[in-house]
Structure 1
């Protein structure tokens, strides 16, 4: 079903990204055209749908993986119960026969162990009474003679959408997910941790990347209604999870500060007591020390593009889990419904005015570039609704032409120095309090020449902001993570890294599987050729290689389908 859904040409993410940017360019070519804007609105909605569709494949795969883990633990328990009964029967048979081996029961036990080894990594320890103790994971005693522990699954504390493996014996229940390896369940856990979770995180990173960058530029523009732009896409929300064992009532919230610094990783925040916390990046173990200084609520500086707000002093050992990008591809939505709301125009424009002294158009060769804004503070311009720059050789009016520059009326007022004798090739200026606007003055103005920066009223034909949004496609805006190394990437390259990473892991799993398959076959042949000797060593080897084979096969089973899905998506 997954292959069929993702093979559909309507699913691919890369084509949807390309179609979105193509439509943005079409609008830039004819910004006053409502039909071209309607196409962009449609492609924006299609892009959102693609994120949802692809994220749903990850979600469905996780649900299916959870079910498989539950089914496998049930099978492990059934086999363990049978091993306990067979152990008891072997001990009783040896005692009744005076020490003779009950071969049928021994064969039955070996078959059960072979079945168990398909599902989980295990070790066996023969006992003097003829029974075998069976250990799984990293020393968990599943079968001790006729006494049997159990395994099961339950929702993870860090992420309720996935399952942890729980081991229960006479000492109680505990999580052993990180200690499980080999066999089908080890393969599922490896796939989830190495492919599924990083892949969904990377998909979310791409969703955040395009949403936040496009939104940021859209907010700096003017729409066809003559008002400043509003968000095209929704912004993601991050909901940290408190560990169920926390003893304090402290809560943690998180928000995205800079999408360009985000990683495709989860994080754990742990209280060190008092004012101290440690944030651990889970994909590579890097830690960040946090000292709140005792002031609450406390908001951290940006860490990997995220800020955390801690409500109070947590108890030593309290933990919180943060997944900045995991749900972003699911959360992204379209926020505008009217094609006129796309902010294709810039909010300000420059025009030459009449010379203050002659009443004619500017006489000199001076020029002022169109201003570029970085925020919308004090925009649109009001009271007055324009800023006038008038060039004077004696800008301070002291009667000496030794301080050339512009008198500024409106906006920040005052004067700015500009000497054509040394700066005619271009000098940059900033009015920080007015949209952070920057502009360049060049050439040689004549005395009294004026330039006016004004609101871009009736700017239907202006495409400057649309061009800026279209240019985002080619800009390095994200940290695309592959093999634990962060590298600057475009939005589409960041998605390509997801595809290549899944492909690399799939190829490695196939190599491991082929190697394990060969060893397994060789030892099966060796075992079948031996007669009348102690088979314990050969059986143990057989079990070991069977575990490796099953684990690799399980990774291939799920990773290969995901790789084919994603590869097909970017080729459409």
Structure 2
């Protein structure tokens, strides 16, 4: 009888407990984070009887939570994904709206500025247009600064959010670690009794943590939960906790880093913190905010650098060379501000370095890290946008030193650089901040060109000037205010050759240093007359053998030599060597032709000799196979031959030379001032004279006396070799193995870059070609208020391809920035929609397991009620049976 009663009682207890659990499920159906619970039951141990084993009722084993870890993990991941997408979209949308807004659209400011340039140069002498341009220049800087300020505000907001995220991560981690301790205590040694509500609470905390960072969890045997965030960084292990903080960066205090803080110190974990708000903020800063700031800075830097450079190449309304319109991009303070030293660098803080900009087309919208990696003073420079090493080397101990890369240079001025030193380099980041209008008066806009080219009224040919421009005002040509030093003359020596002379004395133009002689001109084509390589040099043939009068020989006496040209690549340091062997007695004409076959070499040949003091009644003279004293020579246009004067005269020989078709083919012509005969060879051909008859003359710079041979002796051979000028490209040098040859033992170059360029052309036919003697004078452009040539060049900058290796204009650069941010915004919106869908699906899946279904719980409650009533009936039956037995 007692067995039946005990069995019924166990049923009553089970059903009471089960109904309590179901009631708890029902009332917590809308409680966030609550997991449906149920009772896990088993049969009590049976009693052995003679008839067999007799059951003793039911046992309550455990009240369990209905949950699946893989579903919980999926929900946490999807919460993090959506939180990351929401945060990223919120942030990047602000930049997208900023760049597209009419009030902050830099493209509009640029258009307004160049429209004002166009208005101004239409009437360069008008102050109205100039004042408008000055106003637009100020508005342009304001526009850049407004956008830069908004980006800086957003960076500050990101820093504040990172601080809040770090505090929340640490706070949640602390609560989880405390719950781990409480759960462990509650479960006891056997671990069977689980504190379900506390475990639900812990799961809720983990899900909240997933909003801030990617989370992975590992269950412990003691009921605890280890929590790892980001790329596997331990936040909670059992009841121990690591703190997360947001602190100013060691090299850039305006850029906060997330760090793990422990007894061992702090560890920067930016790259390891992925997912959630933390991952979104860090990714947004890296993918959108910093590139936008750098691109904006690059654009502002490009505007300042290009406009400043062009204005410096012009002449202002008052006749002075132009200055900077905006702050100089290589201003000493600006250059220093581009470098930020790490706070972790060891003392003393004596490192002195700066960054200057060299080539706008090579600049990247990126920051760089200079790190001294050791041993010693070895360093690497890494471009942070793609983590590519762009330069490395060993810093010498002497200063100053320069390392160049990506269009900028690091200038080491001094200091105790050592292994472990780190520096953040920002060549373009602060370009908008540094952009300020430098000029104060509208007259300072330099619309005129400082040079003017004038054709001689006596010109007979068809050569004409197409354009003239100034490329660099730092050359010696512009040393004297208000004039060129020296003024220049371009004089044609034939239809296909010209020379450039010093025109300081108009009555006596003379060769430049280095000379520009016998330069080629192609009729019918556009010809740039001056060297355009700022690093170019000219080596003049000045060896002992050059220009010597070799008596008694038909050879020029040049000994032959081996010439080598070495060119150093400025980026790689690689040296390329080219060699050429010049033959003995080889003409300058042949040398120049063969030297021109070398890369980076432009050689020209020419020859010249002065002859005078002719004496004797029967002197006979031949030049390169042409008898200059032939009594039967008839001048073109004349019927009879002119008598040969006795003694010979410079004018007679000039006419004979200039009217000889054979000598003309060789590029040989002559000039006379009545006393001195100057014979020139534009081709660089050797002069091969034969002297006979009776008499003498003087020849060469030393006025060497040349006597005709004695009667009956053979004619005297006299040979003069030509000269070669070699123009070398930048970073090149020439060497020779012959000390007494054409170039001397140590050929040294002289800069041939004048900083100007004149382009000329002509007709290609005989009437349109230049004529020998035609000349053009290049002088300073005085009284040029109506000149707008430099202003036109400034206007052309609006469409010029200045960025990205000459592939992008200002508008292209800004358009690329706006487009890239727009793409990021669009992708973020897609990710947000996908994240919402994924989270709904994972939440539905988890709710199907852990959620409370009221209909199911009500049905189960009715079922338990029936079970309860049945168990109660057993007790009643046991009582009735007991009463019957008692009455027996």
TM over 0.5: yes
- CA root-mean-square deviation: 2.9
Where do 1:162-311 residues align within 5 Å? 162-236=255-329, 237-238=334-335, 239-247=338-346, 249=348, 250-271=351-372, 272-292=374-394, 294-310=396-412, 311=414
Q: Identify the match of residue 528 of structure 2 among 421, 428, 450.
A: 428
Q: CA deviation at 1:274?
A: 3.0
Name the residue aligned to 1:396.
none
- 1:79–1:112 Cα contact (<8 Å) kept: yes
Distance of 2:498 and 2:326 partners within structure 1: 47
Gaps of 5+ in 1: 356-361, 394-400, 480-485, 534-572
Distance of 2:809 and 2:484 partners within structure 1: 41
Q: CA deviation at 1:192?
A: 0.5
Moved more, 76-85 or 206-215: 76-85
Q: CA deviation at 1:531?
A: 4.4
Name the residue aligned to 1:317.
420
Gaps of 5+ in 2: 1-92, 532-751, 763-767, 853-888
Q: Give the SS at the match of 1:120.
A: coil
- 1:299–1:307 Cα contact (<8 Å) kept: no
Q: CA deviation at 1:267?
A: 0.9
Q: Give the SS at the match of 1:123.
A: strand
- 2:484–2:780 Cα contact (<8 Å) kept: no
Distance of 1:213 and 1:487 partners within structure 2: 13
Q: CA deviation at 1:518?
A: 1.8
Is it true that 1:409 corresponds to 2:409 in the alignment? no
Q: CA deviation at 1:371?
A: 2.4
Residues 531 and 203 of structure 1: CA distance in aligned 2, closer, same or farther (over 3 Å): closer
Q: How many residues end up aligned between the 2 structures?
A: 513
Is it true that 1:466 corresponds to 2:791 in the alignment? yes
Residues 294 and 381 of structure 1: CA distance in aligned 2, closer, same or farther (over 3 Å): same
Distance of 1:94 and 1:424 partners within structure 2: 100
Residues 291 and 418 of structure 1: CA distance in aligned 2, closer, same or farther (over 3 Å): closer
Distance of 1:277 and 1:392 partners within structure 2: 55
Q: CA deviation at 1:308?
A: 0.6
- 1:204–1:327 Cα contact (<8 Å) kept: yes
Q: CA deviation at 1:248?
A: 6.2
Q: CA deviation at 1:513?
A: 2.5
Where do 1:42-191 residues align within 5 Å? 42-95=135-188, 99-191=192-284
- 2:377–2:418 Cα contact (<8 Å) kept: no
- 2:345–2:421 Cα contact (<8 Å) kept: yes
Structure 1 or 2: larger strand share?
2
Residues 149 and 447 of structure 1: CA distance in aligned 2, closer, same or farther (over 3 Å): closer
Distance of 1:140 and 1:260 partners within structure 2: 42
Distance of 1:369 and 1:416 partners within structure 2: 22
Q: CA deviation at 1:349?
A: 0.7
Distance of 2:448 and 2:175 partners within structure 1: 74
Deviation track 1:370-427 (CA, whole Å, cap 9, x = no partner) reads 422211122256487733445566xxxxxxx99876765239942744788x636554
Residues 390 and 251 of structure 1: CA distance in aligned 2, closer, same or farther (over 3 Å): closer
Where do 1:412-491 residues align within 5 Å? 413-414=510-511, 416-417=517-518, 423=523, 425=525, 427-430=527-530, 432=752, 434-440=754-760, 442=762, 443-445=768-770, 449-479=774-804, 488-491=807-810
Structure 1 or 2: larger helix share?
1
Distance of 1:403 and 1:264 partners within structure 2: 46
Name the residue aligned to 1:549.
none
Deviation track 1:184-219 (CA, whole Å, cap 9, x = no partner) reads 111111101111001110111111111111111111
Moved more, 436-445 or 278-287: 436-445
- 1:268–1:320 Cα contact (<8 Å) kept: yes
Distance of 1:261 and 1:323 partners within structure 2: 15
Is it true that 1:371 corresponds to 2:468 in the alignment? yes
Residues 268 and 404 of structure 1: CA distance in aligned 2, closer, same or farther (over 3 Å): closer
Distance of 2:264 and 2:497 partners within structure 1: 86
- 2:319–2:482 Cα contact (<8 Å) kept: no
Moved more, 75-84 or 437-446: 437-446
